[in-house]
């Protein structure tokens, strides 16, 4: 990434870990109430290049990659043969190439893992993180910034000055800006929105019910546990054919064996992804695990937690131990069937 982008953020007060610009509570309130922009330094990109790139990814991931149009994006997972998720990507096209966004902490291992499948396919996989500045933008209840097309449909992709905008939901966009244009675009964007760090953006993801797979939760979930087959997440196709773990994912779907779902909840104390949760009816055996956690604008912490449906219906789930903090379940913006 060019040298003017990172120093600009540091000069504006962004912490070294990208978590905030120095005022977490105010940034969370701004994310809840208005327009905000966040540098997504915890995310990276893999570029897939070559005439077989689409088919190669289609044969490995949970969604229909060949069906991604130049103006569209999709979520997709990469599973073990047992149907357990190793990664969750947001994927879109750039010309003939495909860009795959995922957490930086798992990117090197996933790049190596995917590359093992290349064999004779005409595809090249590279780390493209340095090519783009990734920015999360949320308009809140206001019209979006002038540079962003408000008519763009969900998972639509549009060209903007110096890059691409991908609409994630009613309020949020992902902006992938060429490295050389990042500083100028950031200054333009933040003229009408508040800069916030990763803490506020991760809370927005939780409020949207958008799951992540990080190092601590790799191989912990099958796609349905993260609501990926629901239209609001839309990360699984059941008509695209085989991929690693496809038999398990399909069997879970068609035999009605989805016993755990991802819910949004609030708790008093902080936890980390992968932390187990417990319910009275399961005793010392855990009934789920944390997916993602962030401080809440309302105080305390919010999370996405994958938990047994019956435990949620019973109404008592505790974090970390059978007598740990009790979760208060909150509404998601979509219905879990």
Residue ranges of the domains in the chain? 1-206, 215-330
Q: Is 215-330 in CATH node 2.40.30.160? A: yes
Strand order from edge to edge, sheet including 288-295: 318-319, 276-278, 288-295, 301-308, 260-267, 328-330
Say what angle helices 24-33 and 198-208 make with each other, to 10 degrees.
40
pLDDT, tens digit (0-9, with 9 covering 90-100), for 268-278: 999 999 999 99
- pLDDT above 70 covers a percentage of the chain that reads 99
What separation in angstroms does the CA of 8 have from each of 3, 18, 52, 86, 187?
9, 13, 39, 34, 9
State the Cα–Cα distance between residues 165 and 175, nearest whole angstrom. 5
Residue 295 CB neighbours (<10 A): 20
pLDDT-derived band at 3, boundaries 50, 70, 90: low
**DSSP secondary structure of 40-74:** -TTEEEEEEESTTHHHHHHTTBSS-STT--TTBEE
Side-chain-side CA neighbours of 71 within 13 Å: the count stands at: 8
Do residues 5 and 179 lie in contact, with contact meaning Cβ atoms separated by under 8 Å? yes
Confirm whether 1-206 and 215-330 share one CATH topology.
no
Give pLDDT, residue 260: 95
pLDDT-derived band at 142, boundaries 50, 70, 90: confident
Is the C-alpha dihedral spanning 82, 227, 37, 99 positive or negative?
positive
Indicate the class that CATH gives domain 1-206.
Answer: alpha beta
Asked if the model's pLDDT at residue 10 lies above 80, the reply is yes
176: helix, coil or strand? strand
Side-chain-side CA neighbours of 218 within 13 Å: the count stands at: 14
Q: Is the pTM of this model over 0.85?
A: yes
């Amino acid at each position: 990434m060019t040298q003017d982008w990172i120093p600009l953020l540091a000069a504006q007060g962004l912490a070294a870990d990208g978590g905030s610009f120095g005022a977490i509570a105010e940034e969370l309130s701004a994310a809840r109430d208005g327009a905000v922009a966040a540098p997504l330094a915890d995310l990276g990109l893999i570029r897939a290049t070559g005439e077989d790139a689409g088919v190669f990814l289609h044969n490995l991931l949970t969604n229909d990659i060949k069906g991604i149009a130049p103006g569209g994006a999709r979520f997709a997972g990469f599973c073990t043969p047992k149907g357990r998720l190793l990664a969750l990507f947001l994927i879109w096209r750039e010309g003939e190439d495909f860009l795959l966004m995922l957490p930086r902490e798992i990117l090197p291992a996933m790049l190596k893992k995917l590359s093992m499948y290349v064999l004779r396919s005409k595809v090249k996989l590279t780390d493209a993180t340095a090519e783009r500045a990734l920015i999360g933008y949320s308009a809140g209840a206001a019209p979006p910034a002038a540079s962003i097309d408000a008519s763009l449909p969900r998972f639509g992709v549009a060209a903007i000055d110096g890059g691409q905008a991908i609409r994630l939901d009613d309020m949020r966009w992902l902006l992938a800006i060429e490295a050389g244009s990042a500083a100028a675009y950031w200054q333009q964007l933040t003229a009408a929105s508040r800069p916030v760090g990763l803490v506020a953006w991760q809370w927005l993801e939780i409020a949207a019910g958008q799951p992540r797979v990080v190092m601590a939760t790799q191989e912990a979930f099958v796609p349905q546990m993260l609501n990926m087959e629901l239209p609001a997440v839309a990360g699984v196709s059941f008509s695209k054919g085989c991929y690693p773990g496809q038999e398990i994912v399909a069997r879970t779907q068609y035999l009605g064996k989805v016993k755990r779902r991802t819910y949004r909840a609030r708790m008093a104390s902080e936890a980390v992804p992968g932390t187990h949760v417990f319910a009275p009816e399961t005793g010392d055996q855990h009934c789920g695990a944390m997916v993602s956690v962030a401080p809440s604008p309302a105080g305390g912490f919010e999370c996405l937690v994958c938990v047994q449906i019956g435990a949620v219906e019973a109404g008592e789930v505790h974090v970390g131990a059978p007598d740990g903090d009790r979760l208060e379940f909150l509404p998601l913006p979509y219905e879990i069937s």
